[in-house]
Amino acid sequence: MTTVPLSSNKLSLSNNATVIIDGKRVAEEIIESVKSRRAIENIVPGLAVILVGNDAASSVYVRSKSARAKECGFVSKQFDLHADVSESEVLELINNLNNDSTIHGILVQLPLPKQINAHHVIQSIAPEKDVDGFHYLNTGKLTTGDTSDVLVPCTPAGSIHLIKAVMGSTLSGKHAVVIGRSNIVGKPMASLLLQENCTVTIIHSRTETPAELCKLADIVVAAVGIPKHIKEGWIKPGAVVIDVGINRITTEEGKNTLVGDVDFDNVIDKVSAITPVPGGVGPMTISMLMQNTLEAAIRSKRIA
């Protein structure tokens, strides 16, 4: 088994060795590119992160985003709101950030407390500052293929980058299967693959014979949220597998660990390339967030 080199645009899949795609190294490459572009553009992007409540996992994730932003030379502002904050207070904060010319990217860490409608909050973010890529204007443009000024959701953007890292820039004609139809991963992932001229199948909870459909795929993107759900019998020999799932489980020995939606050990000998969990798609999500924030800042500068 081998790993994707840091600076490689394409790694040969013809040597019968399974490629373990090192998302951490590829993410570092993107971060270095962001730093270089920021310096060339002579701009200081501003990123605002809103955290509601004190969920431990969300707090860790937000700190990681803020640390990356500062590493890239961005101004990073974190707004920690108490768990019983009203929706109107959150919307007022977002409105202020929308009108703040020093802030180019706004994201609200999900999930939100039950008294807050996440839909209202996300859609209140100015589309040009929606670095998570969840605003309807961004998702609509992505769906129609009008991506000249769209901010693409970070996890799908990172996933397509990893696919190209091992398969090259031409994916035309490949059959891709996306497992999961969420608005955050599944649907935008399908749109990105369609733009690469792939034939795309989306498998979801109501799909009949999902394993048989998945077995036809040259590319499998698993984002279903079920630990080790995808087994060897679902995979075509030589397929490239991108595992978006991050599931915390307790092993038989009583140890807490993270696993993906794909049963890694079960499929490893059948695939040509696969992302591990952790260390695969996860690091890419934050690096693509930095790239989106820089892109938003550059567009803002050009408009100004």
Catalytic member of 22, 109, 174, 263: 109
Q: Is 65 a catalytic residue?
A: yes
Catalytic member of 22, 130, 132, 243: 132
Catalytic member of 65, 129, 141, 228: 65
206 is in an annotated binding site: no
In the chain, the N- to C-terminal Cα span, in Å, equals: 50
Q: Is 132 a catalytic residue?
A: yes
- Which two structure tokens, joined as six digits, stand for 196? 């690469």
180 is in an annotated binding site: yes
- Coil, strand, or helix at residue 62? helix
Calculate the alpha carbon distances from 57 to 27, 116, 195 in Å: 21, 19, 34
Note the maximum CA span of the chain.
Answer: 59
Calculate the alpha carbon distances from 215 to 233, 235, 236, 270, 292 in Å: 7, 5, 5, 11, 34
182 is in an annotated binding site: yes
The CA distance from 235 to 156, in Å, is: 21
The CA distance from 185 to 179, in Å, is: 10
| Binding residue positions | 180-182, 246
| Binding residue positions for NADP(+) | 180-182, 246
- Catalytic residue set: 65, 109, 132
